[in-house]
Amino acid sequence: MFLVVGLGNPGEKYARNRHNIGFMAADEIVRRHSFSPFRTKFQGELAEGKIGTKKILVLKPQTFMNESGRSVNEVVKFYKIATEDIVVLHDELDLAPGKLRIKRGGGHAGHNGLRSMHDHVGPDYGRVRMGIGHPGDKNQVSSYVLKDFGKADKDWLEPLVDAVADNIDLVLAEKDSDFTTRVALAIKPERGSKAKRI
């Protein structure tokens, strides 16, 4: 069994924030793969389903970002999920908007949601780091991540979230380079790959 965790803040006020891109991707995984509806459990919203033969739980902690690890820890303990079988979807300031990287293990780089994950389940989980860009001044980071995505972001945001949802099975199979390639092509298709109009 795998656990996919989308990070974000609960409530309509935060729904379109840059910090909530993890929630957006989690919602799309549940929708695209016909998972059960989200249920309120373990201080979060939890959905169950299968992708191929793999049983997968998708969790959106409702504890606010800086306490995300509490909710994750409850799920991990109840279902006895190995830390290596957790994949976290989160915003990444150090990547340009629309860029994406996979990381397994390592530090939290100051991300409050990841810091809480480290505190409660340790560092050995996978991360899908979804770039949202940086405001250019560290003093503006807090207000930047808690602002909604702009209209101009739609061009890369929707293809990114869709591609993450479509190809999440590759992350679970640890085919990280295949995953990043597929997502990159979804955001910027190769020239000539679009169907010609007749």
pLDDT in tens, 186-196: 888 655 444 43
Q: Is 186 strand, coil or helix?
A: helix
Mean pLDDT within 26-54: 95
39 and 47 Cβ atoms separated by less than 8 Å: yes
Q: Report residue 180's pLDDT band, with 50, 70 and 90 as the boundaries.
A: very high
CA atoms within 13 A on the CB side of 60: 23
> Domains plus CATH for the chain?
2-187 (3.40.50.1470)
- Give the integer Cα–Cα distance in Å for 23 and 113: 12
Which positions are catalytic? 19
Which tens digit of pLDDT belongs to each residue from 112-160? 899 999 999 999 999 999 999 998 888 898 899 999 999 999 999 999 9
Which tens digit of pLDDT belongs to each residue from 60-118? 999 999 999 999 999 999 999 999 999 999 999 999 999 999 999 888 877 889 999 99
Residue 198's pLDDT is 38
- Give the integer Cα–Cα distance in Å for 97 and 42: 32
